[in-house]
Amino acid sequence: MAASNAGTMEKRGSLKTTDSFRTENVPETGPLAIIVLGASGDLAKKKTFPALFNLYRQGFLQSDEVAIFGYARTKLSDDELRDRIRGYLSHGKDNTEDLTKFLQLIKYVSGAYDAEEGFRALDKAIAEHEASKLSPGESPRRLFYLALPPSVYPSVCKMIKFYCTPKADLGGWMRVVVEKPFGKDLASAEELSSQIGALFDEPQIYRIDHYLGKELVQNLLVLRFANRFFLPLWNRDHIDNVQIVFREDFGTEGRGGYFDQYGIIRDIIQNHLLQVFCLLAMEKPVSIKPEHIRDEKVKVLQSVLPIKDEDVVLGQYDGYTEDPTVPDNSNTPTFASVILRIHNERWEGVPFILKAGKALNSRKADVRIQFKEVPGDIFKCQKQGRNEFVIRLQPSEAMYMKLTVKQPGLEMSTVQSELDLSYRQRYQGAVIPEAYERLILDTIRGDQQHFVRRDELKEAWEIFTPVLHRIDGGELKCVKYKPGSRGPTEADELLQRAGYVQTHGYIWVPPSL
């Protein structure tokens, strides 16, 4: 969030659990400890601490109840950790009062991820904070954020369960946020789920997928179920094909070692794009309660047919293997286009094309719903293009409908135009929160709506595991593409085969203010 937006932010009162979303019978107030495990790492400095700072600036975290603890193996003093993260919070304005006060809330404890000593020291530091802040009738709240490689989740979860659980007589809660990738395939994800599930109940586990925290992703259910327009059209009778696309204009720079073990399907498609897919394709939930929404997501995932090889295109950009941490013979895809087909009454025959790539020609993520042609084309305008509803998730959040209108003037000719809802123009001055900010706030409030439930994750892995095993086994190969391009031409051919008809000569330009 831009620092310049700070002026438009409202200060909020102390955190309260929202009744309509309450998942546990928890006390609403009491000292709050946020523990960032892996505090020395990349995610912590780039996302977790900035999100916490933004929550603090907006008054969602208050000095009289919150303390933040960083934990990692690296030996650091409190001040050294603060100096490491300062630059990621300040946006160039180094010593604002808010920043200085926020940094003072942070303490650092160093220790191993599998030894009790460090976790006992962490527990002691948290307990001191709680003892100093606890008032009668209140209970401590502990939020553990695992900004760590998944390989250490089991041991870290054991340590926090055994050494950092608040004393039973104090009540309160403890919640654990785990990052993706949650496993590498169905079997490993299930094993990890069992290990963590043996220690914590499902309402304590927050499997984060930061795409679920993006403004326009959160808008999808509202769009679909609060607008009469869409209700009758959102099905196989009217929709021809759906694309969910993620593009990045940079490669795996600095993350090659991690990326090569996972690839683009595990990094983006199996989680981020599949979550968007669920929200687009699921049936209407009974209510907006987290469990009702997640029940519907599971159902639609269960209706996805096995992926066929001919519905997959894999790519790897030229130069990817030049990274010294990537093997020369790597078959890891940095690009993939995969068609999902749903076997149900609403979607039979409608391809959902999920496409993601690194080192492409642009950075954007959007959803493109292409409608079928109008029967009985009396204006002979079919060639000009089909109706499309496009949801631009990022950057420049927007949604627009491509439609055919009469060209202004004396002639009766038609032209493609759009109904455009560009957020920057329509909601001037509004602050769109960072995904992590929103999701951490949800965790504090006990709202699991935007987190992935265990059975949902299992279904997601069921869909992709056969393809992933075939890639890992070298049976499905990547084609090369040029960095800075659209990706492999084979992906465009796949799209055409799926029935997508491109509108030539039409480009949507985000309106300027």
Ligand X SMILES: NC(=O)C1=CN([C@@H]2O[C@H](COP(=O)(O)OP(=O)(O)OC[C@H]3O[C@@H](n4cnc5c(N)ncnc54)[C@H](OP(=O)(O)O)[C@@H]3O)[C@@H](O)[C@H]2O)C=CC1
Contact 391, 366 (CB under 8 A): yes
Over the window 280 to 319, marking each residue x when it contacts ligand X by CB under 6 A and - when it does not, the resulting string is ----------------------------------------
81 part of the interface to ligand X, by CB under 6 A: no
Distance CA 507, CA 496 (A): 19
- Do the beta carbons of residue 107 and residue 71 sit within 8 Å? no
Contact partner, 267, from ligand X, ligand LXAUTJHC, none, Cβ < 5-8 Å per class? ligand LXAUTJHC
Catalytic choice (129, 210, 272, 450)? 272
In angstroms, the CA 395 to CA 389 distance is 17
| Footprint (CB under 6 A) of ligand X, residues 240-259 | none
CB 443 within 8 A of CB 177: yes
193 vs 387, which CB is nearer to ligand X? 193
Tell me which of 29, 74, 155, 485 binds ligand X, using CB under 6 A: 74
Q: Is 129 a catalytic site residue? A: no
109 binds ligand X (CB under 6 A): no
First to last CA, the chain: 19
User: Smallest distance from the beta carbon of 32 to ligand LXAUTJHC, in angstroms?
Assistant: 26
User: In terms of CB distance, is 31 or 333 closer to ligand LXAUTJHC?
Assistant: 333
Q: Does 267 bind ligand LXAUTJHC (CB under 6 A)?
A: yes
Binding mask 133-172 for ligand X (x = CB under 6 A): --------------xxxxxx--------------------
d(CA 104, CA 96): 13
Amino acid at 193: S
Within residues 354-383, the interface with ligand LXAUTJHC by CB under 6 A covers 365
Is residue 266 involved in binding ligand X (CB under 6 A)?
no
332 binds, among ligand X, ligand LXAUTJHC, none (CB under 5 to 8 A by kind): none
Nearest residue to ligand LXAUTJHC on Cβ basis? 267
Contact present, 368 and 388 (Cβ < 8 Å): yes
Q: Which residue pairs from 287-292 have beta carbons closer than 8 angstroms and sit at least 24 positions apart in sequence?
A: 288/20, 288/221, 288/449, 289/20, 289/21, 289/449, 290/21, 290/23, 290/447, 290/448, 290/449, 290/451
Could you tell me the strand order of the sheet in which 32-37 lies? Answer: 106-110, 66-72, 32-37, 141-146, 173-178, 205-208, 451-452
DSSP 285: P
Binding site for ligand X (CB under 6 A): 38, 40-44, 46, 72-74, 113, 147-152, 179-181
Residues catalogued as catalytic: 272
Binding site for ligand LXAUTJHC (CB under 6 A): 210, 248, 267, 365
